[in-house]
Amino acid sequence: MLGISDLSISLAYILCIASALLCLIYGIIMWNKGGGDAEEIEMAEEAKWQEKENIIDGKL
């Protein structure tokens, strides 16, 4: 298949493209999910985390 002699290699070739497509489809379906209502709480949580991260980064 596809000029490839070994079936397991043709399979790998197809799986590479299929898994990239899986990523593509998943991303499109989930594009707006995961932001959610918890945004406010997360903002506060992140601000705290980020502050510390900036301090650490600052030291670098």
Partner 1 sequence: MVVKIIMVILYLGVVGYLGFLGYKNTKTTKDYLIGGRKIHPAVMALSYGATFISTSAIIGFGGTAGVFGFSLLWLTFLNIFLGVFIAFVVFGKRTRKMGHNMEAHTFPEFLGKRYNSKFIQKFAGVVIFLFMPVYTAAVMIGASKFIEGSLNIDYNVALFFFAAIVAAYVFFGGLKGVMYSDAFQGTIMFIGMSILVIAIYSKLGGITAAHQKLTDLFSNPAIADQIKGLQGGGFQGWTALPALFSKYWWIVVSSIVMGVGIGVLAQPQLAVRFMTVKSDRELNRAIPIGGMFILMMTGVAFLVGAMSNVLFFQESGQIAVVAAKGTDGIMSLFLNNFMPEWFVSVFLVVLLAAGMSTISSQLHAVGTAVGRDLFNTEGKTEKKAMLITRLGVLIAIIFTVFLAYWLPTVWDGAIAISTGLFFGLCGAAFLPMYFAALFSKKISKVAAISGMLSGFSASMLWMMFFHSKESTVLKVCELIFGKPMLVADGVLQFVDPIFIALTLSILVTVIVAAATKSKFEDKHIEACFNGIGK
Q: Closest approach of Cβ 43 to partner 1, in Å?
A: 7
31 binds partner 1 (CB under 8 A): yes
Total residues belonging to the chain: 60
Q: Closest approach of Cβ 48 to partner 1, in Å?
A: 8
Alpha carbon 52 to its chain centroid, in Å, reads 24
What residues line the site for partner 1 (CB under 8 A)? Answer: 2-6, 8-9, 12-13, 15-17, 19-20, 22-28, 30-36, 38-39, 42-43, 45-54, 56-60
